[in-house]
């Protein structure tokens, strides 16, 4: 967990994907909405876990 640049990039990409899905939810085809939403939820959850790991790892 020493590569903070990769972690930061992953966090930004996952939150940008979630924001884009929220903004464009009306124009996406129905079959893709479910899979993209699941992907965004998984990515944001992993990002949150990485933030927590980085936060608690910074104190050591």
Q: What is the mean pLDDT of residues 11-36?
A: 90
Tell me the three state secondary structure of residue 51. helix
Per-domain boundaries in the chain: 4-58
Q: Which is higher by pLDDT, 57 or 10?
A: 10
Q: What is the pLDDT of residue 1?
A: 46
pTM for this model (two decimals)? 0.79
Q: What is the pLDDT of residue 2?
A: 55
Nearest of 55, 52, 22 to residue 40 by alpha carbon: 22
Q: Give the Cβ contact number of residue 40 at 10 Å.
A: 19
> pLDDT over 90 for what percent of the chain?
38
Q: What is the mean pLDDT of residues 24-41?
A: 89
Rounded distance, CA 24 to CA 31, Å?
14
């Amino acid at each position: 967990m020493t590569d903070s640049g990769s972690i930061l990039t992953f966090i930004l990409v996952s939150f940008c994907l979630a924001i884009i899905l929220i903004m464009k939810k009306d124009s996406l085809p129905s079959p893709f909405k479910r899979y993209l939403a699941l992907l965004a939820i998984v990515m944001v959850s992993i990002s949150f876990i990485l933030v927590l790991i980085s936060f608690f790892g910074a104190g050591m």
